[in-house]
């Protein structure tokens, strides 16, 4: 009964129950749950089978790569051998046919000659007695010649059938093998195209990984050189600071010594001039002197005052220069300390980058090791295929021997 018929057969009460929103769905039965679990298990088994089939396909793709290379040459060689064997058999068959034709023509000519001679002898036998035995002999020779012609024709037919049968057998054998190998080669080429597509993407990914590894290694070595240079600069900074401090201290001490000597000399000159001025003033007060001499002394005193002021100004200037030199030295020390701190921070940063690079290089090495392992497995598979190819080549050699034997029999 269809769904529409069932709905038409239902009562209004059953329809009302179906339309009722308060109706709860029926519980799932144990059989439905079992079917669901069975379907789930079947799906899981199908996934496992799919994975196994994928693995088998990958293995077949690896073998197809070798089959395409190995069996193409074998197929060409078999085709060439078949063509040569067919051509040789055909040539030998034509040669045998020609020889048989020549023999048949010679026997037919001999038969005609014997018939003519027989007729002539029969005519002569009627005239000359004793020729009857010669006629019978010629008749027997004629019968023998005809028998030999039939035997040659039978042998030729038998040889022709045998040669054609052997050639057909070889053709069928080689044709079946060539068809089998052609089918395998065609399937291998189809699988090989898929493998090449996968290999192309894998090669591109491997080249990208190698390029990235080379870039990281280059960056690592550049960072290593920069770290070494910065380390050399860092090692040089304390020495440069010490040299600058020693040089500044030496210059300051030398300047202070010169200022002290100049100040002491000027103080001594001042005291000497003051003493001379006081002495002259006392003398002038007791004994008035020449005003000109007094003016000269005053001029000398003014000169001494100017010299003393200049010396004091020079001392202040030197003191200012010394203070500025000390400030510059402190600024230089602070700047060098700041550069040292920046260099240390850069070295720490580069050390972190170096650790990251080393980790990346380690991952690249692991990837290269996995690639080498895969290459080793592929090499082992290739060796196995080479063994299989050697066995197949031996069987091909056996087939060639059989062909040579068939040619000999033909």
Q: Can you give the pLDDT at residue 144?
A: 74
Grade residue 1 by pLDDT with cuts at 50, 70 and 90: very low
Please check whether residue 343 is in contact with residue 230, taking contact to mean a CB–CB distance below 8 angstroms.
Answer: yes
Phi, psi of 286 (to 5 degrees): -80, -50
pLDDT at position 149, please? 67
- Tell me what pLDDT residue 108 has: 72
- Decide if pLDDT at 287 tops 70: no
Angle between helix 291-409 and helix 30-127 axes, rounded to 10 deg? 50
Q: Is 116's pLDDT higher than 70?
A: yes
**Res. 292 pLDDT band, cuts 50 70 90:** low
CA distances from 253 to 218, 271, 331, 386, 402 (A): 52, 27, 19, 91, 114
- Position 11 confidence tier, pLDDT thresholds 50, 70, 90: very low
Report the first-to-last Cα separation within the chain, whole angstroms.
77
What is the rounded CA–CA span in Å between residue 321 and residue 313? Answer: 12
* pLDDT for position 356: 72
For residue 270 the two structure tokens come to 């001042």
| pLDDT of 20 higher than 50 | no
252-265 pLDDT, tens digit per residue, is: 677 777 767 776 77
Q: What is the pLDDT of residues 118-174, one digit of tens each?
A: 676 666 656 655 656 666 766 677 677 677 767 766 766 676 666 567 666 666 666
Nearest-angstrom CA–CA distance, 214 and 250 = 53
Q: Among the listed ranges 30-34, 38-42, 47-51, which one has the minimum average pLDDT value?
A: 30-34
Structure tokens at 11: 């009562």
3 state DSSP class of 131: coil
In the chain, % of residues over pLDDT 70: 28
- Nearest-angstrom CA–CA distance, 354 and 346: 12
Question: How much is the pLDDT for 17?
Answer: 45
pLDDT of residue 69: 67
Neighbour-count burial of 118, counting CB atoms closer than 10 A to its CB (0-12 exposed, 13-18 middle, 19+ buried)? middle
The residue with tokens 């000359």 is 128
pLDDT at 3 over 50: no
Question: What radius of gyration, in Å, describes the C-alpha atoms of the chain?
Answer: 62
Q: How confident is the model at residue 335 (pLDDT cuts 50, 70, 90)?
A: confident
Condensed to tens digits (0 to 9), the pLDDT of residues 344-388 reads 677 677 667 667 766 766 776 677 677 667 667 766 766 766 676
* pLDDT for the residue 264: 73
**Residue 18: which pLDDT band, with cuts at 50, 70 and 90?**
very low
**Taking Cα atoms as reference points, which of 361, 383, 10, 13 lies closest to residue 218?**
361
CA distances from 115 to 55, 109, 138 (A): 84, 10, 9
Question: pTM of this prediction?
Answer: 0.27
What pLDDT does residue 98 have? 72
pLDDT at 23 (0 to 100): 46
Judged against a pLDDT cut of 60, whether residue 15 lies above it is answered with no
364's CB contacts (< 8 A; 6+ apart) are 209, 210, 212, 213, 216
Q: What pLDDT band is residue 268 in, cutting at 50, 70 and 90?
A: confident
């Amino acid at each position: 009964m269809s769904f529409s018929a069932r709905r038409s057969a239902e009562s209004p009460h059953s329809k009302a129950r179906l339309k009722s929103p308060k109706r709860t769905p029926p519980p799932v039965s144990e059989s439905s749950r079992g079917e669901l679990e069975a379907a789930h298990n079947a799906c899981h088994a199908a996934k496992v089978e799919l994975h196994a089939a994928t693995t088998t396909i990958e293995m077949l793709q690896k073998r197809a790569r070798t089959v395409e290379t190995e069996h193409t040459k074998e197929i060409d060689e078999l085709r060439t051998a078949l063509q040569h064997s067919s051509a040789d058999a055909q040539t030998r068959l034509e040669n045998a046919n020609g020889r048989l034709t020549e023999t048949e023509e010679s026997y037919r000519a001999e038969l005609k000659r014997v018939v003519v001679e027989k007729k002539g002898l029969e005519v002569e036998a009627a005239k000359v007695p004793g020729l009857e035995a010669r006629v019978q002999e010629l008749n027997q020779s004629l019968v023998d010649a005809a028998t030999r012609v039939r035997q040659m024709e039978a042998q030729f037919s038998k040889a022709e059938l045998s040669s054609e049968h052997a050639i057909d057998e070889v053709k069928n054998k080689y044709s079946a093998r060539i068809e089998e190998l052609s089918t395998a080669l065609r399937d291998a080429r189809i699988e090989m195209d898929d493998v090449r597509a996968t290999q192309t993407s894998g090669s591109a990914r491997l080249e990208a990984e190698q390029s990235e590894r080379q870039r990281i290694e280059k960056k690592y070595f550049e960072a290593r050189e920069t770290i070494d240079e910065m380390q050399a600069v860092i090692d040089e900074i304390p020495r440069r600071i010490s040299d600058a401090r020693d040089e500044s201290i030496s210059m300051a001490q030398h300047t202070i010594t010169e200022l002290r000597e100049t100040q002491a000399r000027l103080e001594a000159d001042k005291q000497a001039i003051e003493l001379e001025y006081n002495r002259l003033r006392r003398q002038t007060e007791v004994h008035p002197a020449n005003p000109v001499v007094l003016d000269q002394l005053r001029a000398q005193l003014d000169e001494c005052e100017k010299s003393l002021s200049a010396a004091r100004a020079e001392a202040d200037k030197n003191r200012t220069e010394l203070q500025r030199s000390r400030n510059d030295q402190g600024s230089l020390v602070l700047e060098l300390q700041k550069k040292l701190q920046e260099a240390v921070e850069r070295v720490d940063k580069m050390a972190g980058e170096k650790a990251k690079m080393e980790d990346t290089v380690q991952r690249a090495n692991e990837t290269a090791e996995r690639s080498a392992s895969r290459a080793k497995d592929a090499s082992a598979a290739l060796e196995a295929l080479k063994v299989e190819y050697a066995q197949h080549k031996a069987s091909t050699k056996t087939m060639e021997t059989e062909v040579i034997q068939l040619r000999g029999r033909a």
